[in-house]
Amino acid sequence: MNINTDVIMNTYSRFPICFERGEGMYLYDIDGKKYLDFVAGIAVNSLGHANPKLGETIAKQAMTLIHCSNLYYTVPQIKLAEKLVEKTDFDKVFFCNSGAESVESALKLARKYAYMKGKPGTEIIAMEHSFHGRTYGAVTATGQEKYQKGLGEMLPNIIHVPYNDFDALKAAVSEKTCAILMEVMQGEGGIIPADKEYLQNVRKLCDEKDILLMFDEVQTGVGRCGELFAYQVYGVAPDCLSTAKGLAGGVPIGAFMAKESAAKAFNPGDHASTFGRNPLATSCGLVVMNELFEGGLLENVKKNGQYLGEALKNLAKKHEKMVSDVRGMGFMWGMELKGEAAPIIKKCIDAGLLLVGAGPNVIRFVPPLIASKEDIDEMAKILDKALE
Ligand SMILES: Cc1ncc(COP(=O)(O)O)c(C=O)c1O
């Protein structure tokens, strides 16, 4: 690899790999080495790499209209919002460009909702070990101190309680609480699914106290967990939902959705985005939605997601000295090791398999939603050797 990395700001611990192109489940670096991709840009490339339908849509839309102000409507924006509303419990959609922005939208709406209702407090309860992004609001809501270190004052009135602990949450709720924010399955925190009963109890509590329940499905959303959104796997709908990552197959996009009762707290001028809902991103979102529902992609995640889970559990049994747990759903799994995950991930990368960690001890598996049984077998073979 002969490139000038000095010009790039030092915000990531990067691998010395420079990618040039991709095709389906594979990425190719500038030296021609081929990698099986079980990272998918961290749960982003839902259709795999160089998907022809996505590429053609981008080319066509780029020659038609890339951007115009949010002072006007565009047809792809309306069509994607209609599709999201049709397939979920929400009535309104706000488009932005990233996961953190969709979380910021949730934090702002929560406080506007309290203001609209004349409620006394602006406190938001978030979860320990959560991850919500890097903007100041989202990083304040993130329940991991390492992301806040050295940044000075965080946003006021955001507190954290242990995840999956209903008693702790209930005890923290007060007159001041306006919203509860959580992931349905914690991603960066180590692939930790919520308990169903916990989510049901939280929903009930929010209804009783008129508190907004806000799910961050930036990582778990858009088919990754076997339904369009992971909350649909649990059958517990929040009042608002933030999503991003895979929604446009790799083109930057975020979406914040809310039920009418909550969405009406936003009025013209309250929230905005220059690039949000641009026709390029939203037309790509339509391609992804179409593939999920008409192209068999959701079915693939359901079927092969189970196969992926079984493959990982078999490896855990075989390497029980190394592996302490396997958990997840759909195409989002974590393998918890008794030691550090980084050396195993490095071995896999050297052998041509891309994996990513989720915390120090967990290997994460978030392949493109097109992954086949053969791809899973190929991944398991390389991981098996690395664990040996
Ligand atoms: C659950 C969750 N929320 C928010 C974010 C932030 O998304 P973005 O990096 O697009 O701002 C992430 C990113 O990993 C995430 O996993």
Distance 322 CA to ligand 1 centre (A): 29
Mark whether 16 and 34 lie in a shared domain.
yes
Report the pLDDT value the prediction gives residue 365, as an integer from 0 to 100.
98
**Same domain assignment for residues 266 and 350:** no
- Site to probe by mutation for ligand 1, drawn from 129, 220, 245 as the one with most ligand atoms within 8 Å of Cβ, is 245
Walk across the sheet containing 332-337 and list its strands: 323-329, 332-337, 362-365, 356-357
pLDDT tens digits, 184-196: 999 999 999 999 9
* Segment 222-249 mean pLDDT: 98
Question: Are residue 289 and residue 305 in the same domain, yes or no?
Answer: no
- Number of neighbouring beta carbons within 10 Å of residue 151: 11
How far is the centre of ligand 1, averaged over its atoms, from the C-alpha of 219 (Å)?
7
Residue 12's CATH number: 3.90.1150.10
Ligand 1: atom nearest CA of 133 is 6
Specify the CATH number for the domain of residue 179.
3.40.640.10
Same domain, 245 and 372: no
Query: How far does residue 98's CA lie from ligand 1's centre (Å)?
Result: 7
Q: pLDDT by residue (tens digit) across 203-213?
A: 999 999 999 99
pLDDT at 29: 98
CA angle 77, 82, 84 (to 5 degrees): 95
Cα-to-centroid distance, 262 and ligand 1 (Å): 22
User: Does residue 282 surpass a pLDDT of 90?
Assistant: yes
Give the residue among 155, 154, 146, 205 at the shortest CA–CA distance from 179.
205
Please tell me whether residues 244 and 107 are part of one structural domain: yes
Range of the domain at 101: 54-293
Q: Same structural domain for residues 236 and 309?
A: no
CA of 319 to the centre of ligand 1 (A): 31
Query: Residue 49 pLDDT more than 90?
Result: yes
Same domain, 179 and 264: yes
Beta bridge partners of 353: 36
Contact 127, 186 (CB under 8 A): yes
* pLDDT confidence of residue 4: 94
Question: Taking the chain, what is the end-to-end CA distance rounded to the nearest angstrom?
Answer: 29
In this model, does residue 154 exceed pLDDT 90? yes
Phi, psi of 376 (to 5 degrees): -65, -40
283 shares its domain with 330: no
| Model confidence at 120: pLDDT above 90 | no
Residues in the ligand 1 pocket, defined by CB under 6 Å: 42, 98-100, 103, 131-133, 183, 187-188, 216, 218-219, 244
Dist CA 315 CA 61 (whole Å): 45
**In this predicted structure, what is the pLDDT of residue 218?**
98
Instruction: State mean pLDDT over 318-324.
Output: 97
Same domain, 354 and 268: no
The amino acid present at 388, given as its one-letter code, is E
What pLDDT is recorded for position 161? 98
Q: Which atom of ligand 1 is nearest to the CA of 100?
A: 11
Q: Which helix (H) or strand (E) holds 45?
A: none
- Which of these three, 293, 320, 350, is where a domain ends? 293
Q: Which of 40, 44, 25, 39 is nearest to 285 (CA)?
A: 44
Task: Report how many domains make up the chain.
Answer: 2
Confidence class of residue 151 from pLDDT cuts 50, 70 and 90? Answer: very high
Q: Exposed, middle or buried, 360 (CB in 10 Å: 0-12/13-18/19+)?
A: exposed
Q: Is the pLDDT of residue 263 over 90?
A: yes
Protein residue closest via CA to atom 7 of ligand 1: 99
> Which whole number is the average pLDDT over 22-26?
98
Closest by CA to 160, choosing from 144, 138, 183, is 144
**Lookup: tokens for 352:** 């041509």
- Sequence-distant (≥ 6) Cβ neighbours of residue 88 within 8 angstroms: 228, 229, 232, 241, 257
Given 270, 293, 316, which residue is the final one in a domain? 293
pLDDT of 198: 98
Helix then strand then coil, in percent of the chain rounded to 5, is: 40, 20, 40
Query: CB neighbours of 212 closer than 8 A, spacing ≥ 6?
Result: 109, 110, 113, 178, 179, 180, 206, 239, 240, 262
16 and 165 in a single domain? The answer is no
Is there a single domain that holds both residue 44 and residue 58? no
Pocket test for ligand 1, best of 96, 131, 220 (most atoms within 8 A of CB): 131
CA 353 to CA 351: how far, in whole Å?
A: 6
Q: How far is the CA of 366 from the centre of ligand 1 (A)?
A: 14
Report the half-sphere exposure of 93 (CA within 13 A, side-chain side). Answer: 24
Q: Which residue owns the Cα nearest ligand 1 atom 13?
A: 133
* CB 261, CB 269: distance < 8 Å: no
Mean pLDDT of the chain: 97
Residue finishing a domain among 293, 322, 348: 293
Query: In this model, does residue 179 exceed pLDDT 90?
Result: yes
Alpha-carbon gap, residue 66 to 74, rounded angstroms: 10
Which residue has its alpha carbon closest to ligand 1 atom 3?
132
Residue nearest to atom 8 of ligand 1 (CA): 99
In this predicted structure, the answer to whether residue 1 has a pLDDT above a threshold of 90 is no
Instruction: Please check whether residues 192 and 340 belong to one and the same domain.
Output: no
Q: Find the mean pLDDT for residues 146-168.
A: 97
For residue 321, the CA-to-ligand 1 centroid distance in Å is 32
Mutate to test the pocket of ligand 1, among 132, 192, 215, 362 (most ligand atoms within 8 A of CB): 132
Compute, in angstroms, the gap from residue 67 CA to the centroid of ligand 1.
24
From 98, 219, 275, mutation site for ligand 1 pocket: most ligand atoms within 8 A of C-beta: 219
HSE-CB at 255 with a 13 A cutoff on CA atoms is 32
- The burial of 108, by beta-carbon neighbours within 10 Å (0-12 exposed, 13-18 middle, 19 or more buried), is given as middle
pLDDT exceeds cutoff 90 at 113: yes
